[in-house]
Amino acid sequence: MIIMLDYKDTRPIYEQVVEKFQTLILKGVLEPDEQLPSVRSLAVELSINPNTIQRAYGELERQGFIYTVKGRGGFVRYNEDLLEIKKERLKKQLLEVMKEAEELNIPLEELVGQLRSGQ
């Protein structure tokens, strides 16, 4: 499993781990009921403290992305509600960007053009 952390990112490491797993789950890279790496093995792989991974897994479970089986570890939980939540968050972020662009007098057409060109 490839999870890349950005040490220049101002967010805590556990939040980055949570976001990476959310993305992998929502994109279907991690299948429903697939077992997650153990806390210890992922901590070693990423060269970070196991408590950081434990905190990330706890947050993923709280948000409904994973479930834990006592003695066996964490597993992917997937349902359409999670995808809808992510879509709503993305729409909210997009509206915030559009509002900020409007405040800076950047025309909507310019934003759309940049989105289409991927730049």
Question: How far is 43 from 45, CA to CA, in rounded Å?
Answer: 5
pLDDT value of residue 45: 94
In the block, tokens 């053009």 appear at 113
Cα angle 105, 103, 110; round to 5: 40
- Contact between 42 and 2 under an 8 Å Cβ cutoff? The reply is no
pTM over 0.85? The answer is no
pLDDT value of residue 113: 87
66, β-bridge pairs: 76
**More confidently predicted of 85 and 47:** 47
Helix (H) or strand (E) holding 59: helix 50-62
Q: What percent of the chain has pLDDT over 70?
A: 98
Residue burial 3-17, b: 16+ Cβ < 10 Å; e: rest? eeeeeeeeeebbebb
